[in-house]
Structure 1
Amino acid sequence: MSSDLVISNARLVGRDTVLEPGSLHVRAGMIAAVDRGTPTAGALDFGGDYLLPGLVELHTDNLEKHFAPRPGVRWPGKLAVINHDAQIAAAGITTVMDAIAVGDMRDGALRMTILRDMVAAIEAAQTAGMLRAEHLLHLRCEISFKDLLELVEPMTGLSWLRLVSVMDHSPGQRQFANLDKYREYYQGKFGLSGAAMDRFMAEQVAAAEAHGPKNRRDLVALCRSRGLPLASHDDATIEHVAEAAADGMVVAEFPTTHAAAEYSRAHGMRVMMGGPNLVRGGSHSGNVSARDLAEKRQLDIISSDYVPSSMIQSVFLLPREVPPISLPQAVAMASVNPAEAVGLTDRGALEVGRRADMIRVSLIDDVPVVRSVWRHGRRVM
Structure 2
Amino acid sequence: MKLIKNVDIVTRDEVLHDHEIYIEDGIIKEIAKKINKPDAEVVDGQGGILMPGFIDVHSDYIEQLAAPRVTSVMDFNLALYEFERELVTHGITTMYHSISFLKDTGKKALRQPKNVRKMIELIDQSHKQLHLVHHRFHLRLELDNMDVVDDVVEYIQKGQVHLLSFMDHTPGQGQYRDLEIYKKSYLNDEGMSEEQVQTQIKNLMNKEKLTLDKIQVIANYAKEKNIPIASHDDDSIEKLEIIKSFNATISEFPITMEVLKEAHEQGFMTVVGAPNILLGGSHAGNLSAKEAIESGCADILCSDYYPASLLHAIYRMADSGQELHEMVKKVTYNPAQAVGIEAEVGSIEVGKKADMLIVMRLPDKFPAITHVFVEGVQVSNMNYRV
Given the two structures, how large is their TM-score scaled by the length of structure 1? Answer: 0.93
Q: Shift in Å at residue 37 of structure 1?
A: 3.8
Q: Shift in Å at residue 108 of structure 1?
A: 9.5
State the partner residue of 1:138.
138
Q: Shift in Å at residue 126 of structure 1?
A: 4.0
Q: Distance in 1 between matches of 2:63 and 2:3?
A: 38
Q: Distance in 1 between matches of 2:310 and 2:36?
A: 29
State the partner residue of 1:223.
222
Specify every segment of 5 or more residues in structure 2 that has no aligned partner in the other structure, as ranges: 381-386
Deviations 1:178-200 (A, max 9, x none): 11111111232222222211111
Specify every segment of 5 or more residues in structure 1 that has no aligned partner in the other structure, as ranges: none
Q: Shift in Å at residue 105 of structure 1?
A: 4.1
Task: Answer yes or no: is 1:300 the counterpart of 2:323.
Answer: no
Deviations 1:79-128 (A, max 9, x none): 11011111111110111111111235458962115212221232334432
Q: Which amino acid is 2:244 matched to?
A: A
Determine helix, strand or coil for the equivalent of 1:334.
Answer: coil
RMSD across aligned positions (CA): 1.9
Q: Distance in 1 between matches of 2:209 and 2:371?
A: 50
Give the share of equivalent positions with the same residue, in percent: 28
Deviations 1:47-77 (A, max 9, x none): 1011111111101101111111223111111
Task: Answer yes or no: is 1:341 the counterpart of 2:342.
Answer: no
Deviations 1:270-327 (A, max 9, x none): 1111110111111100001000011110111110111111111112111112x2x200
Task: Answer yes or no: is 1:267 the counterpart of 2:266.
Answer: yes
Deviations 1:204-261 (A, max 9, x none): 1111x44454553333233223332100101011111121222221111111110111
Does the Cα contact within 8 Å between 1:12 and 1:22 map onto a contact in 2? yes
Superposition pairs for residues 1-381 of structure 1, below 5 Å? 4-37=1-34, 43-106=42-105, 110=109, 111-112=111-112, 113-129=114-130, 131-207=131-207, 209-211=208-210, 213=212, 215-321=214-320, 323=321, 325-344=322-341, 345-364=343-362, 365-381=364-380
Determine helix, strand or coil for the equivalent of 1:48.
Answer: strand
Further displaced range: 167-176 or 234-243: 234-243
Does the Cα contact within 8 Å between 1:105 and 1:204 map onto a contact in 2? no
Does the Cα contact within 8 Å between 1:149 and 1:218 map onto a contact in 2? no
Q: Which amino acid is 1:363 matched to?
A: R
Structure 2 CA distance for partners of 1:238 and 1:29, relative to 1, 3 Å: same
Does the Cα contact within 8 Å between 2:143 and 2:209 map onto a contact in 1? no
Q: Shift in Å at residue 357 of structure 1?
A: 0.5
Instruction: Provide the aligned length of Structure 1 versus Structure 2.
Output: 374
Q: Which amino acid is 1:27 matched to?
A: E
Deviations 1:134-185 (A, max 9, x none): 0011101101112131221111124342100010000111101111111111
Q: Distance in 1 between matches of 2:67 and 2:215?
A: 29
Q: Shift in Å at residue 39 of structure 1?
A: 11
Structure 2 CA distance for partners of 1:336 and 1:210, relative to 1, 3 Å: closer
Does the Cα contact within 8 Å between 1:57 and 1:303 map onto a contact in 2? yes
